[in-house]
Amino acid sequence: MDLRYTEAEQQFRKELREWLAEALPTLPPKPAPDDWPARRAYDTGWQRMLHDAGYAGINWPKEYGGRGATLTEQLIYLEETTLAGAPYIGVNFVGLLHCGPTIMAEGTDEQKREHLPRILRGEEVWCQGFSEPGAGSDLASLSCRAVRDGDEYVITGQKIWTSFAQVADYCELLVRTDPGSKHRGITWLICPMDTPGIEIREIRTIVGSSEFSEVFFDGARVPVANRVGEENDGWRVAMVTFSFERGTGFISDLVETNRMISELAALARKVTRRSATAWDDVAIRREIGHLQAEMDALWAMTKRNLAQAERHGIPGPASSVVKVYYSELFQRLTDLAMRVLDRASLSRDDLGGLPSGVFVEERLRSTSFTIAAGTSQIQRNIIAERILGLPKG
């Protein structure tokens, strides 16, 4: 493993910076958070610009429209686009980071030809139908039922916390196909979201956003040809999806968090307390320094995981270490920001000329980090069993 960048990778970074400098000023204004048709158009429009410039799915095979680049170049891409303030992946998140890689690893040739190029061009938006009201962290207990009827599955049940369901064309859907088994009774399906029998209800989050939905299935029929992997083998396929989610899906978040630490240090220099600033408090400075050191270590670990993925094709269970460490570090970062802001942390608006509102909103948003994409308890079980080799308790 070599964590240093090669000359070719440095050249890739330089060319990407130059393209971003030209492309970003041409973007239209960002749409309102609740205007979902406009948000889809904005996010997929940016995705099309990336595709036309050769930066969409840079590590995907060229036969599917990708660049065929290395995972290290993908890391560079995510680092540079985040630092440049480029649009977030947005509604393309599930398709590009979960479904696309999963279909590449487990899908049929026909599924690859049909979906992968369209995901890269921004012509298909996907959502994830995994969690249920009674099966979140204990995903193997899911009960959304699919009964085979000839060449179709008939689906009945409910999903929850389904990101971008209101604008999605397809859902990566886990269903129960064998009620007599637990892990071995699950199947992974490609579900068109315009299928009759599907109802979507948006959920309002603590920060007022509505990217999550409840999705209800009442006799929705999905062709058997839309199955990824074998029937009742969906748990193994889902583990492939989770490996990508926890391995490469947090890189932009890490870059953004690194920037937030610098912004918190700058904020601490401005917040006054009697005759001094928050920065004059040695305990505050020590905590910020520790957070930065931990982020440096986490970034090195992420690069190590990518090096492992380049050798084996799929990120390993070490990606769970990144997930649990990052999510808890981010909560500590925003907790510290609230203490630095003191009374200003009671308002979501910027106060006294300070950029306080974004830290307050991130503190509220961070409460979900140790739950979403697998709770910290589940991640620690994975680390204990698959990395440390400890017996199941």
Residue 362 a catalytic site member: no
Contact 89, 96 (CB under 8 A): yes
Instruction: DSSP letter for 376, please.
Output: H
Q: Cα dist. 242→113, 218, 278 in Å? A: 23, 27, 40
- Residue 229's contacts (CB-CB under 8 Å, 6 or more residues apart) are 106, 187, 188, 236, 237
**Candidate list 132, 245, 287, 362, residue with the active-site label:** 245
Q: What is the DSSP string of 7-60?
A: HHHHHHHHHHHHHHHHHGGGSPPPPPTT-HHHHHHHHHHHHHHHHHHT-TTTTS
Q: What is the DSSP string of 57-94?
A: TTTS-GGGT-----HHHHHHHHHHHHHTTPPP-GGGHH
Distance CA 47, CA 90 (A): 10
Active site residue ranges:
245
